[in-house]
Structure 1
Amino acid sequence: MPFLAVALFGAYGLAGVFGMVAVMYALADVTGIFRDAGLSVTSRACDPWTEVLHDLESGATDVALGGLWVPGMSAGSSRALTVIGQLNHTCPKVIVRREAHPDFALADLAGQVVLAPGAGGSGPYAVTAGLMREAGVDPDRVDFVRDLSTSMLVELFVAELGDAIVLDLVTAVELESAGHGHVVYRNLEHGGLMPNSVYYCRTDRVEELRDRLTRFVAGVATAMNRLPDTPAETIDGILRTRWPGKDLAVLRQAVAQMSAGRVWERPSRSTPPPATGGCACSPRTRCSPASPPTTSSPTTAS
Structure 2
Amino acid sequence: MERFLVSATGHSLNYLPHYLAEERGFFRDEGLDVSEVVPRPWDLVLDHIRDGTAEAALGGIWVPSMFHGRGRRLVPFAQVSNRAPLALVGRTSAEAFNAAALVGKTVLMKGSNGASVGLYLKMMLREAGIDPKSVNYVQDLDGGILQACFAGGMGISC
Distance of 1:158 and 1:31 partners within structure 2: 33
1:258-285: per-residue Cα shift (whole Å, max 9, x none)? xxxxxxxxxxxxxxxxxxxxxxxxxxxx
Distance change in 2, residues 1:35/1:126 (3 Å)? same
Distance change in 2, residues 1:134/1:79 (3 Å)? farther
Identity score, percent: 33
**Residues 284-295 of structure 1: pairs in structure 2 closer than 5 A:** none
**Residues 4-19 of structure 1: pairs in structure 2 closer than 5 A:** 4-9=4-9, 11-12=10-11, 18=12
Residues 7 and 43, structure 1, Cα contact 8 Å, conserved in 2? yes
Which consecutive aligned stretches of 4+ in structure 1 deviate over 4 angstroms post-superposition?
none
Residues 71 and 82, structure 1, Cα contact 8 Å, conserved in 2? yes
1:126 matched to 2:116: no
Distance of 2:153 and 2:35 partners within structure 1: 42
Distance of 1:53 and 1:145 partners within structure 2: 27
Residues 17 and 81, structure 2, Cα contact 8 Å, conserved in 1? no
> Where does the alignment leave 5 or more consecutive residues of structure 1 unmatched?
13-17, 167-302
Corresponding residue SS for 2:92? coil
Distance of 1:24 and 1:103 partners within structure 2: 27
> Where does the alignment leave 5 or more consecutive residues of structure 2 unmatched?
none
Distance of 1:110 and 1:49 partners within structure 2: 31
1:165 matched to 2:145: no
**Residues 213-224 of structure 1: pairs in structure 2 closer than 5 A:** none
Distance of 2:116 and 2:122 partners within structure 1: 10
Distance of 1:30 and 1:117 partners within structure 2: 25
1:96-144: per-residue Cα shift (whole Å, max 9, x none)? 2211122431122222222222244322212101111222222112111
Residues 120 and 149, structure 1, Cα contact 8 Å, conserved in 2? no
Name the structure 2 match of 1:145. Answer: 138
Number of corresponding residues: 158
Query: 2:136 corresponds to which letter in structure 1?
Result: D
Name the structure 1 match of 2:89. Answer: 96
Q: Which has the larger radius of gyration?
A: 1
Shift of 1:30: 4.9
Distance of 2:3 and 2:151 partners within structure 1: 45
1:61 matched to 2:54: yes
Shift of 1:21: 4.4
Residues 5 and 43, structure 1, Cα contact 8 Å, conserved in 2? yes
The range that moved more, 37-46 or 74-83, is 37-46
Distance of 1:113 and 1:26 partners within structure 2: 31
How big is the alpha-carbon RMSD for the aligned residues of Structure 1 and Structure 2?
2.4
Higher helix fraction: Structure 1 or Structure 2?
A: 1
